[in-house]
Structure 1
Amino acid sequence: MEQYDVAIVGYGPAGATLAHLLGQCGLKTIVLERESAAYHLPRAVHFDAEVMRVFQWIGIAEEMEPKTAKHPGMRFVDPAGKLLLDWPRPQGEGPQGWRANYRFHQPDLEDVLRTHMAERETVTVRTRCDVFYIEDKGEEVELRFEDMSRGKVERIGAKYVVGCDGARSLVRRYIESGMEDYGFHERWLVVDVILNEEKPELGEHSIQYCRPERPATYVRVPGMRRRWEITVRPDEDSAEISKPERVWELLSDWLKPEEAELERTAVYTFHSLVAEDWRKGRLLLVGDACHQTPPFMGQGMCAGTRDVANLYWKLALICQGKVAGEAAEALLDSYESERKPNAREYIQTAVRLGGLINTVGTEAALRAALPSGDGTARMESIAPPLGPGLGIGDKAGRLFGQPRLAYSRLMDEVYPHQFVVVAEDEIVAGLSLPEGVGLVTTSASNAADHLARLGARATVLRPDRHTLGGADTTQELEALIALILPNPLETQQPEMA
């Protein structure tokens, strides 16, 4: 029976990204996917700078960026077209080293992810393989699957199994996890069109139409593609409302049939759910398998990528034998304790935005939605910290930016998959760092700006670029350095200019 470090069930964006990261860390990884090819129609349409930074790690960011569209922000308007809520998105390079947000065509991303998988010598991808049995035997997990291309049942063993297998996750069933329900369950018609010619009056912003009788969302995606998401009323039939003649009727405020081609129509039920248990023994969940969100913040795929970034280096340390026993168990337990509150906060915010879209239109709802003043609300981006886990103090678990070093190189290019100390020069002077730990000082980078945002003079970054805490003295920094684990990758550090 073939043995692997990690078996990934599901080859969507989350599964593929996890396979890339584990492959970079040298783990023997297998991906098992039921379908023969990636889904060819649009699904997710948005990701943010945090996700692009992960794509930078696996070497696809520069290839993906030209395939995306700029995203100036989101606007909420009432039935008369009055602006209720403005959510602008900054343009240009932000703290993560990339633009704040991107609109994309998911088949483009999946193609890039899969094409570059050939670079991962330790990763095996098996499509048309339907997993039907998973048994955690304590020291390893046995999986059985049918290779549908040959009608043959096969068995493999893995140290860990990660379910990236979507909302109907088989791995979640084996974990036997219930779901925390935040009360949002609505049917929406999703319509993707390809314009026959430019239609600039549709605009570049995403727009939430807060119409009590029929809330709707407009999304500008790359090229000539555009998307609308339109509420389906309880008394309406999903099949009937998906028919072309009905779809064009619903789009009549924005578009005529001769102006575009329908690429896809589908009715989805949007949920707000978080799995109660993200791990059981050697089984773990990632992405839609452990959380499902309404689409109003565009955070579905983003949340799955954050899961992957949090988990990959912990699995790498354990599978490489650098962390074992109780320490390994605690490290894996930190995956759920850190990620679950973060995912929950994004989902609860999306639910609140969904409530705004569905209820604004009455005077009382308008007063509740808007602050006093000029009648226009502005919403800043939220970036909730991780939940309790690794680190010390209230500055632990914060996503840190990506300083530019000498020759304008981004930090993660110089120190991939490593712990990194970022500090003012005087605090780190005379300190000896563990082998393989990177060092970024304020005199050799623009790290001072990033430290100012954290509110500390020094910090230690994990491989996923979250902080172990903040330090204002050499002694406090030494306490953070003592928390550093071995690095997932043994990389030779370049000389700092």
Structure 2
Amino acid sequence: MEHSKHYDIAIVGYGPTGVTLANLLLKQGLSVLVIEREANILQLPRAIRFDAECMRVFQTIGITEQLLQEIAPGPGMKFQDANGELLITWERPVVKGNQQWSSAYRIHQPDLEKVLRDHIADHPLLDLKLRHDVYKVDQSSESCSIYYEDLSKGTLHQAQAKFVIGCDGARSLIRRLIGTTFDDLNLHSQWLVVDFIANEKENDLGDYSIQYCDPKRPMSYIKGTGQRRRWEIMVMPEDDVKSLTHDEKIWSLLEDYIQPEQATIERAAIYTFHALLAKNWVKDRLIIAGDAAHQTPPFMGQGMAAGIRDAANLAWKLKQVIQDQQDISLIQSYFTERYSHVSEFIQGAVQFGKIIQNYCEDAEFQVQTAKLKNFITPIPKLGAGFYRPEHHQAGFISPQFLFENQKLSDDLVGYQFALVTRDASILTGSELQHLQAEYAGQMTVLAANAAIADWLQTEQAVAAIIRPDRYIFGFAQDRDSLIQLLEHAGIAMFAQV
């Protein structure tokens, strides 16, 4: 057995969550070991949506220029009944909103993963082990011993890491080692998922996704990037599951919408959609993220996005504990904050799933549908954690500010805390110098502009601190409350002034 190399973080799994987390950790100067079973990126289509908040994460990583060549904004979703009557409209504006990105984007998952992997392919702090498999992890008070096999050679290896992060999917080994069970949000149904490559651009049903709430055969249509089209078809009790993935059966199910001469079937598979939340995501130095921690039906397009949010929430906290000597209890806030946030999206997906599957059969679902007629994407608040709850907007995602030179605030800040004010005199020159010198790499002080001033005035505050993941840490109404806010964030204002 090859014995221990030492790393700050070991990541198990190199899908979208794992590779996003690796990018953010490396950006902060942490050493990272990645262990992944597969030799290459799986080229089949899987996730096909992410949102503006995810785009801000990719902006922080520094890949938006490459990514914009692979993605397209998506306008939203419509629900209709068996007679074609419109039930629900879910608009997702393609114009840029207050996060300075469109509400939703289409993506081919392998393209996204390639851009993320290529960005750190030659990073000196990354040790990437493809075709390797973890079989054991031991914990001590200071670190973890991680044991893994080189599947191509059959050799065994060991490494040390301060934390092990399981981004290893629905069957996660790291989740099993944590020893947690699931909260079940009560939606389990089988669906046939079929991905097509259309021959002509005209062979689609428009830019909107469509949910067909037909009790005889609920279905979903989703337009992907380029010529990609997806149909999700609910498996009914009378179906012969073994024959559902056969080409002739697929074409017969979709004969009203698409013909064999119009497209090529790229993939057909039967999935069981689940709504599950692991009850615990952190046990000492073992942590889970992405599908290892939560599984959602696809009806809100939030599966991959939730894992990317996990990575953005977790990476800076790991850096604070490892490099900045923050208490390890900070890591527990990752679980409490993200559990509540992702739960709201999964509950929304369950509600939509039950409407799609039960509309016209149950009066209760017709009432629910009427209430959701003009649905607006929720913006959940974090669960209790590392922010000051006194202000009602603390714990929510912050806006991104556009400066007069067309610079975006996230680019100016980087992956660290930001202090924004609408009154430059609230701190003295020596105090500002202290912040910029003593906490370089931890906090950026943004010069006030009109957008920042308007936002703070609306929130009846003179200043705010925004966390590295762009969530609002807290607001200050005057100089004294700003000093207290900085101290709560771990910034010792007068230590060297």
1:384 corresponds in structure 2 to 380
Q: Distance in 2 between matches of 1:366 and 1:131?
A: 45
Deviates more, 1:113-122 or 1:20-29: 113-122
Question: What is the one-letter code of the residue matched to 2:377?
Answer: S
Q: Distance in 2 between matches of 1:119 and 1:66?
A: 22
Helix, strand or coil for the counterpart of 2:274? strand
Q: Distance in 2 between matches of 1:430 and 1:271?
A: 54
Q: Distance in 2 between matches of 1:255 and 1:399?
A: 41
Q: Can you list the C-alpha shifts for 1:180-226, whole angstroms capped at 9, x where unaligned?
A: 00000111111000011122551100111111111111101011110
Q: 2:29 aligns with which of 6, 26, 29?
A: 26
Change (3 A) 1:159 1:222: same
Q: Can you list the C-alpha shifts for 1:430-474, whole angstroms capped at 9, x where unaligned?
A: 3724333222344x3522454467564431011111111223333
Q: Distance in 1 between matches of 2:110 and 2:277?
A: 26
Change (3 A) 1:264 1:441: same
What is the TM-score of this pair, normalised by structure 1? 0.92
Alignment of 1:157-168 (within 5 A): 157-168=160-171
Deviates more, 1:361-370 or 1:192-201: 361-370
Q: Distance in 2 between matches of 1:366 and 1:22?
A: 44
Contact 2:465–2:475 (CA<8 Å) still a contact in 1? yes
Q: 2:315 aligns with which of 299, 312, 330?
A: 312
Helix, strand or coil for the counterpart of 2:343? helix
Question: What is the one-letter code of the residue matched to 1:420?
Answer: A
1:469 corresponds in structure 2 to 474
1:405 aligns with 2:369: no
1:332 corresponds in structure 2 to 331
Q: 2:417 aligns with which of 410, 416, 419?
A: 419
Contact 2:48–2:224 (CA<8 Å) still a contact in 1? yes
Helix, strand or coil for the counterpart of 1:165? coil
Contact 1:419–1:484 (CA<8 Å) still a contact in 2? no
Q: Can you list the C-alpha shifts for 1:114-165, whole angstroms capped at 9, x where unaligned?
A: 1112242211111000111111122211111110122101111111000000
Q: Which runs of 5 or more structure 2 residues have no equivalent in the other structure?
A: 493-497
2:349 corresponds in structure 1 to 350
Q: Distance in 1 between matches of 2:29 and 2:491?
A: 15
Q: 1:86 aligns with which of 80, 85, 89?
A: 89
Question: What is the one-letter code of the residue matched to 1:398?
Answer: F
Q: Can you list the C-alpha shifts for 1:308-344, whole angstroms capped at 9, x where unaligned?
A: 0010001111221x124xx22x201111111100011
Helix, strand or coil for the counterpart of 2:186? strand
1:495 corresponds in structure 2 to none
Q: Distance in 2 between matches of 1:486 and 1:471?
A: 15
Helix, strand or coil for the counterpart of 2:88? strand
Contact 1:403–1:445 (CA<8 Å) still a contact in 2? no
Instruction: Count residues in correspondence.
Output: 479
Could you tell me how far 1:362 is from its partner in structure 2? 4.5
Helix, strand or coil for the counterpart of 1:66? coil
Contact 2:336–2:383 (CA<8 Å) still a contact in 1? yes
Change (3 A) 1:251 1:417: same
Identity of counterpart residues, as a percentage? 43
Contact 2:71–2:105 (CA<8 Å) still a contact in 1? yes
1:61 corresponds in structure 2 to 64
Contact 1:197–1:224 (CA<8 Å) still a contact in 2? yes
Q: 1:236 aligns with which of 239, 243, 251?
A: 239
Deviates more, 1:447-456 or 1:305-314: 447-456
1:491 corresponds in structure 2 to none
Q: Can you list the C-alpha shifts for 1:214-266, whole angstroms capped at 9, x where unaligned?
A: 11111010111100111012343433111111111111121001110000001
1:276 aligns with 2:275: no
Q: Distance in 2 between matches of 1:354 and 1:118?
A: 39
Contact 1:45–1:221 (CA<8 Å) still a contact in 2? yes
Change (3 A) 1:167 1:287: same
Contact 1:390–1:396 (CA<8 Å) still a contact in 2? no
Could you tell me how far 1:39 is from its partner in structure 2? 0.5
Structure 1 runs of 4+ off > 3 angstroms?
426-431, 448-457
Could you tell me how far 1:92 is from its partner in structure 2? 1.9
1:483 aligns with 2:481: no
Question: What is the one-letter code of the residue matched to 1:438?
Answer: T
Contact 1:400–1:454 (CA<8 Å) still a contact in 2? no
Alignment of 1:445-464 (within 5 A): 446-451=451-456, 456-464=461-469
2:78 corresponds in structure 1 to 75
Contact 1:20–1:120 (CA<8 Å) still a contact in 2? no
Contact 1:141–1:160 (CA<8 Å) still a contact in 2? yes
Question: What is the one-letter code of the residue matched to 1:323?
Answer: Q
Q: Distance in 1 between matches of 2:14 and 2:347?
A: 27
Q: Distance in 2 between matches of 1:156 and 1:134?
A: 10
2:325 corresponds in structure 1 to 323
2:131 corresponds in structure 1 to 128
Aligned-residue Cα RMSD (Å) equals 1.9
2:495 corresponds in structure 1 to none
Question: What is the one-letter code of the residue matched to 2:146?
Answer: L
Could you tell me how far 1:279 is from its partner in structure 2? 0.5
Q: 1:192 aligns with which of 186, 195, 204?
A: 195
Q: Which runs of 5 or more structure 1 residues have no equivalent in the other structure?
A: 488-497
Q: Can you list the C-alpha shifts for 1:24-43, whole angstroms capped at 9, x where unaligned?
A: 11111010000100101100
